[in-house]
Chain A
Amino acid sequence: MTQRLYSLLAASILLLIIFASLIWLADADFFKSITAFFKGAFGGRKYAYLLVTISRAALITGMAIAALIAFRAGLFNIGGEGQLVIGGLASAFVAINLPFGGPAGIFLVLLAGMIAAGVWAMLAGIMKLWLGVPILVGTLLLNYPARYIASYFVSHPLRDIASGMPQTHLIEKSLWLPLLPGTRLDIGFIFILFIFCIVLIYCYRTVGGYEAKMTGLSIDFANASGLKTKKISLKTLALSGAIAGLVGAIAVLGIHHRFTDGMLVQPLYAWTGIVAALMVSLIPWAVLPAGFFFAAIHSGASGMERTADVPKEIAIIVQGMIILFVASKVPTAFNQNIGSGK
């Protein structure tokens, strides 16, 4: 125990040194930056920045849940980015063309995002099961077509030409996710919390969740026990993609109210989610604090950029360093065979 504490301390000090030298490189004042960091993550007038952190945490946690579900079933789905983009695009497409609004409309739009992204994720599963393409590479390579397809749709057929940007028209106000009274925080995070609870039950208390975990731990054992592993894999991938799609739809309906080219790719939501899921070595309940933690880092970095003139990319570096340290401590986060396609 004491040894673990020491190594934690050493890693923290090392991280702090890296952090300080990066700030020094940017010619910024260290203490001013630190203050700006905490203010940017949790402060602001009427806690405005904290609300931003929460809404970002919802997206990151959602992507982390999507990654977690696939990972624990042994499916190394690192194509969350593509699924997120397809989900966002599909929901924006439906939202623009929907003749009615209100709760029923919102429900339909979210559903459209989930279905589209679920199908997109299943593509990789089909490639794995019938064509033998490893999940890791298959899901990853599907990111790029997704990105370009979305880019094409928002710059040609769906483009709001008057705005001058590659983006769709603004969505009808009746389809926007309502805000919490008195704040500027939309209710998207409640959806994610709801999904989080369902996933907890799914992971810990249902037969399906147990079977998925079994498939992940040893696919041969699962096969020998008579599980239909192919079906489980496809189902899990579809579920994972659907959650990613929901996150995309929430980002469209709650935050941006339209689909802009690159708006889901640039903030690295999907990769941060994967990193958050890996950091807690795929323990379902811990995904929520991990998502919030990384969201705070990103928000804090934005705060530093605003007031202390430190580029916000410092968040990505810190995030990468953290996951390196964690990876070296938790070698068996998942089955070694998953990535090598065996």
Chain B
Amino acid sequence: MLGSIFDPAFADSVARISIPILLAALGGAICHRAGVFNIALEGFLLMGAFMAVFGSHFTSSATLGTLSAICGGIFMALLFAEFHLRRPGDPIVVSIAINLISLGLSTYLLRAIFDVSGVFQSDQIRKVSLLDIPIIENIPFLGSFFSGQSLLFYFSLAIVIFAHFFFKYHQLGIWLRAAGENKQALEAGGVSSKKIQFISLILCGALCGLGGAQLSISNVGLFVENMSAGRGWIAVVIVLVTGGRALPLLGLVFLFGTVDGASLRVQGFGWPQQFTEMMPYLASLLALIFVCYRKLKFEKNTQGIRNV
């Protein structure tokens, strides 16, 4: 049974499933680190997915489609910044509103511009090109994971490594963390925390837009209403669980990708489809409980020490 799940095609699907969540979670991590409570990742992702198909359809170019996805993500991020940073909107309320607007806008435009409801497909949509890596592609199992993926896969892996060092050593990364951890100290240092948070939101929008592009014009090449289907929320959970640290985040994302990929496979064994589709959400719930419980216990055990 295990052998029939874990074959090369499975490795390939895990990589493809993971990228949108990885990109969205990276964006969320940047916001989390900068002290912006952003739970609108779902909306950013959905808008990115729609704009990717939109751009790719009208220009017949995957690059321009990806760029337009980034613009879509950034547009929603600007909306978030306007109402949360420039005006004093509560981040949760603003996030809920943005998720609703993304859902409404993408479905509305789908019907208004393309005159279809449900699924939009066209010959003009170009998919992001795949990259075969010479030597790695011949390694049995890992080869299909690391090779033959879309450019966005390699890009997102690079971002993870970059983000790790970015937060640790880069001036902007340190400012970002300062904005999240101690705003007053940052302001005292002469840096506007609002500005830093604005930058973090824009980066988040761009990354989520890319994630959306992977979802629509790389994985499938079409757009479905409410395509993000909770992936943004899983990304939010991953960010909360890892505290926005880049490397643990990568591990957790691939864990979810594996669960998700496996859930597609076990459908072949006659499990009801609903249970297998539920698995990624249950897995994220379990991960959340595990981490929160450890934190709770830690706080309880160290209460005496901290109160001194």
Interface of A toward B, CB cutoff 8 Å: 22, 25-27, 76, 78, 127, 131-134, 136-138, 140-142, 144-145, 148-149, 151-152, 155-156, 268, 271, 274-275, 278, 310-311, 313-317, 319-321, 323-324, 327-328, 331, 333-334, 336, 338-341
Contacts and interface: CB of A to CB of B under 8 A. Distances in A.
**Residue among A25, A271, A316 with most chain B CB within 10 A:** A316
Contacts of B277: 148
B278 A144 contact: yes
B101 A333 contact: no
B93 A333 contact: yes
A323 B93 contact: yes
Contact of A311 (B107, B289, B293): B107
Interface in B114-162: 117
Given A311-B107, A324-B83, A27 B112 contact: yes
Interface of B: 37, 39, 79, 83, 87-94, 96-98, 100-101, 103-105, 107-109, 111-113, 117, 230, 233, 236-237, 240, 272, 274-275, 277-278, 281-282, 284-285, 288-289, 292-293, 295-296
Nearest to B117: A311
B84 to A, nearest CB: 8
Contacts, number: 143
A131 B292 CA distance: 6
Given A133-B289, A133-B292, A141-B284, A311 B83 contact: no
A328 B93 CA distance: 9
B292 A327 contact: no
Q: Is the interface of A mostly helix, strand, loop or mixed?
A: helix
A9 to B, nearest CB: 17
Contact of B104 (A152, A155, A320, A331): A320
Given A141-B281, A271-B96, A311-B112, A320 B101 contact: yes
A333 B88 CA distance: 11
A22 B112 CA distance: 9
Contacts of A132: 292-293, 295-296
Contacts of A136: 39, 92
Nearest to B112: A26
A320 B97 contact: yes
Given A133-B292, A134-B292, A148-B278, A78 B96 contact: yes
